[in-house]
């Protein structure tokens, strides 16, 4: 049975990233452990992964997913240690952090994604008898429509500092969709909130080296639609201070990045980055 049948092409990218985490989990020198990832990726995740990696440069494993996962894990656990108790994983996909990280007992994690994706994930969770390590509220929404109402109705408290995790999403949005999402997040963010995200530079996105990869993303129904060379311009006017780490910077390397490491299709590029934004 093809259990991933009801998923739309963009939701299926969550199987792809799960399959990259499963691959990392199998490494002796893994940067994190994700025992659920292989089941979450299913049969389809590795197929999508191989289409894209193999297509660009055969034999080269893109280290970005492993680096970003570990970077974000470290940030999330630091926030937990600093006392943040409300987390929202926006476009959570098949992320298993609510199961695999050691959270403080009173942490609450909202998991937002399309309803079909979350139903698919919950079926797998039940089948695995997986136990979450934090209270977890899956919430099926369309992030391009009104998702803030359902979040507030589910108990989200906008007076508390929140950690927003926006991983693997922003480049799938048109600029105006990204901006609306950031405005909505901002409206719900008390001072002391933090937003963690990954994104891509517009220059690298427009570069000839990305063209074949982007065309394939279009063919598969999940194009990358936006990037930014100056992410501070997206966040600072909304009242956030931001720190940008390019992959390969000392804090976003973990011994995995090198001049031969690739952004999709590009040798030695530093055009993708990780963001930490703090609401003033
Ligand atoms: C590349 S996956 C990233 C999943 C996860 N954050 C990760 O890094 O593995 C993109 C996710 O965005 C979700 N997504 C995209 N557009 C969405 C929308 N309009 N509403 C809800 N979820 C959306 C997809 O369903 C998918 O799970």
Q: Quick check: 13 and 93 in contact, CB under 8 A?
A: yes
Predicted local confidence at residue 207, as pLDDT: 86
Mean pLDDT of 51-80: 84
- CA dihedral 193→198→203→205, nearest 10 degrees, is -140
Predicted local confidence at residue 1, as pLDDT: 38
d(CA 166, ligand 1 centre) in Å: 9
Q: Quick check: 218 and 52 in contact, CB under 8 A?
A: no
For the Cβ of 113 lying below 6 angstroms from any atom of ligand 1, the answer is: yes
The H or E element that residue 197 is part of is strand 194-200
Look at residue 267 and tell me whether its pLDDT is greater than 60: no
Least confident of 41-50, 83-92, 114-123, 186-195: 41-50
For the Cβ of 168 lying below 6 angstroms from any atom of ligand 1, the answer is: yes
The rounded percent of the chain whose pLDDT value lies above 90 is 78
Q: Whose CA is nearest to atom 25 of ligand 1?
A: 11
d(CA 142, ligand 1 centre) in Å: 10
Helix residue spans in 82-170 (DSSP H): 97-100, 115-128, 148-153
CB 263: neighbour CB atoms within 10 A?
23
Atom of ligand 1 nearest to the CA of 117: 25
Find, among 201, 254, 258, 241, the residue nearest to 74 by Cα: 254
d(CA 75, ligand 1 centre) in Å: 20
Mean pLDDT of 260-277: 65
Least confident of 46-55, 125-134, 168-177, 226-235: 46-55
Atom of ligand 1 nearest to the CA of 14: 2
d(CA 226, ligand 1 centre) in Å: 15
Interval 201-250: pLDDT, tens: 998 899 887 888 899 999 999 999 999 989 999 999 999 999 999 888 88
Give me 53's structure tokens: 């990696």
CA distance linking residue 141 with residue 188, whole number of Å: 16
Look at residue 61 and tell me whether its pLDDT is greater than 80: no
Predicted local confidence at residue 5, as pLDDT: 52
For the Cβ of 143 lying below 6 angstroms from any atom of ligand 1, the answer is: yes
Q: What are phi and psi of 182, to 5 degrees?
A: -65, -35
Look at residue 261 and tell me whether its pLDDT is greater than 80: no
pLDDT bracket for residue 57 (50, 70, 90): low
Interval 117-141: pLDDT, tens: 999 999 999 999 999 999 999 999 9
239: left (phi over 0), alpha (psi -120 to 50) or beta: left
d(CA 181, ligand 1 centre) in Å: 13
Helix residue spans in the chain (DSSP H): 9-26, 37-41, 44-56, 64-81, 97-100, 115-128, 148-153, 175-187, 202-206, 211-219, 232-235
d(CA 17, ligand 1 centre) in Å: 10
The domains found in the chain, sorted by start residue, are 63-279 (3.40.50.150)
CA distance linking residue 83 with residue 43, whole number of Å: 39
pLDDT bracket for residue 54 (50, 70, 90): low
For the Cβ of 173 lying below 6 angstroms from any atom of ligand 1, the answer is: no
Give me 52's structure tokens: 């894209």
Look at residue 265 and tell me whether its pLDDT is greater than 80: no
Q: Name the more confident of 121 and 257.
A: 121
CA distance linking residue 139 with residue 108, whole number of Å: 13
């Amino acid at each position: 049975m093809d259990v991933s049948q009801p998923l739309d092409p963009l939701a299926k990218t969550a199987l792809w990233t799960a399959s990259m985490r499963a691959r990392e989990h199998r490494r002796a020198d893994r940067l994190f452990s994700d025992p659920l990832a292989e089941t979450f990726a299913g049969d389809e995740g590795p197929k999508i992964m191989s289409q894209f990696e193999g297509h660009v440069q055969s034999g080269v494993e893109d280290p970005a997913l492993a680096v970003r996962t570990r970077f974000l894990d470290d940030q999330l656990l630091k926030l937990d240690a600093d006392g943040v108790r409300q987390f929202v994983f926006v476009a959570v996909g098949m992320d298993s952090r609510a199961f695999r990280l050691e959270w403080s007992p009173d942490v609450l994690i909202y998991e937002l994604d399309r309803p079909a994706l979350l139903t698919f994930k919950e079926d797998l969770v039940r089948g695995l008898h997986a136990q979450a390590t934090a209270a977890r509220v899956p919430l099926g929404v369309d992030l391009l429509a009104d998702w803030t109402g359902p979040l507030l109705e589910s108990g989200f408290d906008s007076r508390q500092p929140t950690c927003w995790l926006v991983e693997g999403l922003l480049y799938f949005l048109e600029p105006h969709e990204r901006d609306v999402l950031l405005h909505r997040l901002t409206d719900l963010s008390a001072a002391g909130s933090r937003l963690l995200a990954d994104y891509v530079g517009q220059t690298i996105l427009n570069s000839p080296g990305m063209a074949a990869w982007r065309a394939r993303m279009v063919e598969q129904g999940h194009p990358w639609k936006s990037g930014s060379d100056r992410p501070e311009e997206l966040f600072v006017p909304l009242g956030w201070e931001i720190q940008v780490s390019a992959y390969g910077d000392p804090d976003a390397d973990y011994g995995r990045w090198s001049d031969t490491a690739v952004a999709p299709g590009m040798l030695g590029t530093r055009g993708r980055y990780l963001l930490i934004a703090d609401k003033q």
